[in-house]
Chains A and B, each alone.
Chain A
Amino acid sequence: MKRVGKQTWVFDDGVYIQAAAAVVGPLEADGPLGSYFDICHRDLYCGEATWELAERRLMREAVDCCLQKAGVSAEEVDLFLAGDLLNQNATSNYVARELPIPFLCLFGACSTSMQTLAAAAALIAGGLADRALAATSSHNATAERQFRYPTELGVQKPKTATFTVTGAGAALVGRAPGRWRVRAATIGKVVDAGLKNPLDMGAAMAPAAADTIEQHFRDLGASPGDYDLIVTGDLSRVGSVIVRELLAESGYDVTDVYNDCGLMIYRPDQKVLAGGSGCACSAVVTYGYLLQELARGTFRRLFVVATGALLSQTMVQQKQSIPAIAHGVVIEADGQEPG
């Protein structure tokens, strides 16, 4: 492992994703990627009594499913890294309570999927763990009631608003060769463009995403053509156009290789306004769809840039602007079959 440039870690000794799992709610299961997810819940409550318990169940199932696919027991995992959107990272803490694994709790809002994956890869590469589990979750109703309004309140949301994805993703990272190789990670800086509207997070996060992607190219001397796909986490219809424009102004034309998880997870006719968002958005698209397509050979090398709006309800009410961050991880298909 070494640092290249200012913000990019390159894992040249071999860090692999050995297994990954994605669990989703009803609307995501009904979307175009429905068949890629491991567990699809037909009920938004996932059989639990409250929204928060439902989200906890999503993450727990993603963790269990991931470990089962890897054929590894929880005791054999050296480190658990997780985060979510609830205050105090409640979902992650309560899931970790049930696991016999040392736990690092991380918060990066919707960038948590790649934040945990990058941190896990670095700890593995540094020899501090042999196997680490990275997980994240979000739930439409828990996010809605914490950040916005009661779920049944009649509010006409603007076209720029996004729809929090209900789901959870988990990935087991380790030294032993697996189907996917974590090649590099670029850790983003907090970028605050000065926007204040919590119902337009795509525009608030796009500068952070562009910053991380540009830094990645600069650090590695890479260009958009080096990737089969560059995906952002949840910039949605609004932010995905802005990030392309920002990158074009810096001389990087990503049009042919760019997509956004928030646009991939739902059909255009599903009522999700500008598209999907939330920690689970990039997590389930990456750990469900993208990894399977990498294994299938559709892509060889991906750059997943998970974007997070680091917004706090209290700060928004105090008229503070919304800080944003983006972390990117390069994932490659590895020729070797899992051992």
Chain B
Amino acid sequence: MEYVRAFLAGGVLCAIAQLVIDRGKWTPADVAGSLVVLGVLLGFGGVYDRLAAWAGAGATMPLSGFGYWLAKGVMAEPRPEGLIETGAAVFRFAGALFAFIVAGSFAAALICKPKG
């Protein structure tokens, strides 16, 4: 059942991150950054493709999924070559998410004040 797999994969990733944060050596921002980089590394290695095929959103929703989108942009065919193509390819998939979050955040700030 794919929902169970998504639940398990996403839940386990979050629980591990929680334990790392609670251990107290790394701040939440450190853990978030590490997760993204981990997603990039596993994305290049091809491991994340298999994880995403198995767990679906359970792999792409955690922050490592953002790293996966970044890596996937470079790894997807046709493979980019050189500075210009590689730089653009990084945003091939992640860019959709990134642009939406930036624009959405700005829009939220246009409308809302912090509630405290």
Q: Does a CB–CB distance below 8 Å link A and B in the complex?
A: yes
Cβ B28 vs Cβ A141 within 8 A: no
Complex Cα distance A235/B31, Å? 30
Q: Does B115 contact A (CB under 8 A)?
A: yes
- How many residues of chain B have a CB within 8 Å of chain A? 6
In Å, the complex CA distance between A241 and B114 comes to: 35
CA distance A51 to B115 in the complex (A): 10
A152 touches B28 (CB 8 A): no
Instruction: Name the residue in B21, B113, B114, B115 with the highest tally of chain A Cβ atoms < 10 Å from its Cβ.
Output: B114
- B114 pairs with A150, CB closer than 8 A: yes
Cβ B115 vs Cβ A151 within 8 A: yes
Residues of A near B21 (CB, < 8 A) are 156
- A18: Cβ under 8 A from any B Cβ: no
**Is A91 positioned at the interface, with any CB of B under 8 Å from its CB?**
no
Return chain B residues, CB-CB under 8 Å to A44: 115-116
Q: How far is the CB of B16 from chain A (nearest CB, A)?
A: 15
Q: What residues of chain B lie closer than 8 Å to A156, measured between beta carbons? A: 21, 28
Residues of chain A lying within 8 A (CB to CB) of residue B115:
44, 151-152
Query: Nearest chain-B residue to A155 (Cβ)?
Result: B28
Give min CB distance, A73 to chain B, whole Å: 35
Determine the distance from Cα of A151 to Cα of B115 in the docked complex, in whole angstroms: 8
In chain A, positions 123-163 with a C-beta closer than 8 Å to chain B are 140-141, 144, 150-152, 155-156
| Complexed CA–CA distance, A151 and B21 (Å) | 20
Q: Select the residue from B113, B115, B116 with max chain A CB neighbours within 10 A.
A: B116
Is B114 a contact of A140 with CB atoms below 8 Å? no
Which partner residue on chain B sits nearest A139 by CB separation?
B116
Alpha-carbon distance between A22 and B12 when the two chains are bound, in angstroms: 49
| Residues of chain A within 8 A of B28, CB atoms compared | 155-156
Task: Find chain B residues with CB under 8 A from A140 CB.
Answer: 116
- In the complex, what distance in Å separates the CA atom of A83 from the CA atom of B33? 38
Q: In the assembled complex, which residues on chain B have CB atoms less than 8 Å from the CB atom of A141?
A: 114, 116
Residues of A close to B113: CB separation below 8 A: 45
Q: How far is the CA of A325 from the CA of B113 in the complex (A)?
A: 35
In whole Å, how far is B105's beta carbon from the nearest beta carbon of chain A? 11
With the chains together, A66 CA to B28 CA distance in Å? 44
Chain B residues contacting A152 (CB-CB under 8 Å) are: 114-115
Residues of A in contact with B (beta carbons under 8 Å apart):
44-45, 51, 140-141, 144, 150-152, 155-156
Question: Closest 7 CB pairs between A and B?
Answer: A44-B116, A141-B116, A151-B114, A151-B116, A152-B114, A155-B28, A140-B116
Q: Give 19 A-B contacts (CB < 8 Å), ordered by A residue.
A: A44-B115, A44-B116, A45-B113, A45-B116, A51-B114, A51-B116, A140-B116, A141-B114, A141-B116, A144-B116, A150-B114, A151-B114, A151-B115, A151-B116, A152-B114, A152-B115, A155-B28, A156-B21, A156-B28
A51-B116, A150-B114, A152-B114 given. 15 additional CB < 8 A pairs? A44-B115, A44-B116, A45-B113, A45-B116, A51-B114, A140-B116, A141-B114, A141-B116, A144-B116, A151-B114, A151-B115, A151-B116, A152-B115, A155-B28, A156-B28
